[in-house]
Amino acid sequence: MKQAEKINALLGDVAFPLMGYFFWNWNFYFILLYFILDQVARTIFLPWRLKLTELNQSEKIKIIAQSSILLFSELFIIHFFLKVLIPDIHFQKEISNFIHYSDMGIEQGYILLPLLILGEWLRMKQDLKTGLVGSKQLNNLVKNRHLSFFRISFFSFFLGLQFFTPLKETMMIFVFFLFISVLVFYPFKIRSSNSKT
């Protein structure tokens, strides 16, 4: 990842949610919903991203299946962890609050959801413009799967820890942001010997 891309990732994945926490009273689930919706948008656009590779149809279906399983696994472990961390949380109510949260008279759900879709579409257009196709695009998709594994491992670890040492929501928010920041600078080295160019 180039330096400019790392800065953009930090602004989008860390700075913006932190602003939500400090200025808009976002709780941990609000912050995680922001990340969850981003992952859902990426998964929705995956079939179109795979068109930028030279994989055959069966290989594309396999990647879509693997990514979907990872997404549902991540959703499950996040919600399981939060239910243990915050026993009285009501997810349906929190989701409704997230969508209808109003700032300056505008409900954020009606702005954020289209922006996430638009952002993913623009990223894909940028990939085409910069030549991130073929094996490069495939490596990028593999990296995203690695990130999913890391996030699942993160929440699984703290889920287990919660059963031994009670954790605080505020502490977990800052630990999560630290974890995301580390992932931005993690030097992924992806083997591409099996990819097609």
Report the DSSP pairing between strands 102-103 and 106-107: antiparallel
Q: Say what the pLDDT of residue 186 is.
A: 72
Give residues with Cβ within 8 angstroms of 95, minimum separation 6. Answer: 33
195, 41, 22, 9: which is closest to 117 by C-alpha? 41
Query: Taking all residues of the chain, what is their mean pLDDT, rounded to a whole number?
Result: 84
pTM of the model: 0.83
Q: Taking residues 22-47, report their average pLDDT.
A: 88
Dihedral sign, Cα of residue 126, residue 129, residue 131, residue 135: positive
- pLDDT band at residue 2, thresholds of 50, 70 and 90? low
Supply 162's token pair: 């919660």
- The verdict on residue 193 lying in a domain is no
State the total domains in the chain.
1
- pLDDT band at residue 185, thresholds of 50, 70 and 90? confident
Q: Are 91 and 79 in contact (CB under 8 A)?
A: yes
What is the amino acid identity at position 100? Answer: H
Distance CA 120, CA 175 (A): 26
Could you tell me the end-to-end alpha-carbon distance of the chain, in angstroms, rounded to an integer? Answer: 20
Note down the domain range covering 178: 3-185
- The verdict on residue 190 lying in a domain is no
Q: Taking residues 108-136, report their average pLDDT.
A: 80
Q: Say what the pLDDT of residue 104 is.
A: 63
Distance CA 20, CA 120 (A): 21
Distance CA 86, CA 78 (A): 12
What is the amino acid identity at position 134? Answer: G
133, 166, 148: which is closest to 52 by C-alpha? 133
Q: For a pLDDT cut of 90, what percent of the chain falls above it? A: 38
Query: For the chain, what's the residue count?
Result: 197
CA angle 14, 15, 18 (to 5 degrees): 85
- The verdict on residue 195 lying in a domain is no
- pLDDT band at residue 90, thresholds of 50, 70 and 90? very high
Give residues with Cβ within 8 angstroms of 34, minimum separation 6. Answer: 16, 17, 20, 26, 112
- The verdict on residue 145 lying in a domain is yes
Residue 57 has pLDDT above 70, yes or no: yes
